A and B are shown apart, each in its own frame.
Chain A
């Protein structure tokens, strides 16, 4: 109990005796002088933030241009695969899988090619020849 009292006494002593501070006016003068001598820190900071934002914006634009060039302006995206088998055979198979339609088209073309390879028409013709 006595210990607690001593502790409480200590606390109240420290609370009641805040450190005596130097003159606030003097501190204010020193602070203002220092601030005035700062090399236009706040406008520079504004400029810094503006530059930062501009850099980010420029980076975003560059990334967008890069993406546009690599995807939309690439020969693959320019080509229309609806017309020809040749076009499809010109490009690697992996590139065709960009759009679902292309996958289906490629699949159908492959089927047709396989059909030609097996040459069913010849088989049928030979059968007919035998019959008739």
Chain B
């Protein structure tokens, strides 16, 4: 979808056009779901977060500045939700990892379940030692493929801070990855 088309849909949505907003949701849902899922690593919660994000978008459409990319604005709202979720999740007591994963994948499609389970397990495993900020920067840069400037707008972090967070995130992930490989090779021999 072109930027002009998005701008038109946003303008229509501002005038309470539900069809226009529906088109926006359909267009951006995959991106936002992928991002929230990678951040939260739980399908149900990610899905709920996506809905919350779009409801929030609807409520705050008046505040959206068309000078900036709608995509970036969406990511900003989603980021705030994910960070809040991760912070509150830290306070909660979680079920053991395996139990949690078996509970969360309730979709019937087996391929989808396997894929999402795999992705969630990998991300959970490699990012478990990262701070929410490092996790956020890593997800936005490496997995979502956003530019540093965009990440700076979304996270309100300076490019230098983004780079240092990214460096640390990659370092911790490498270390974690190395540990997993060592354990695996020790098991094999």
B22-30, B67-75, B83-91, B146-154: which lies at the A interface? B22-30
A37-45, A75-83, A91-99, A120-128: which lies at the B interface? A37-45
Bound complex: CA A87 to CA B31 (Å): 80
Those of A22-54 within 8 Å (CB) of chain B: 22, 24-25, 27-32, 34-36, 38, 41-42, 45
Bound complex: CA A36 to CA B54 (Å): 13
Given contacts A19-B34, A19-B38, contact A31 B62 (CB under 8 A): no
Answer yes or no: A17 CB below 8 A from chain B CBs: yes
Bound complex: CA A19 to CA B42 (Å): 10
Contact of B145 among A15, A17, A34 (CB under 8 A): A15
**How many A-B pairs with Cβ below 8 Å?**
102
Which residues does chain B contribute within 8 Å of A27, judged by CB atoms? 25-26, 29, 33, 47, 50-51, 54
Bound complex: CA A34 to CA B109 (Å): 26
Residues of B within 8 A of A (CB): 16, 18, 21-22, 25-26, 29-30, 33-34, 37-38, 43, 46-47, 50-51, 54-55, 58-59, 62, 107, 109, 111-112, 115-116, 118-120, 122-123, 126, 142-143, 145, 170, 173-174, 177-178, 181
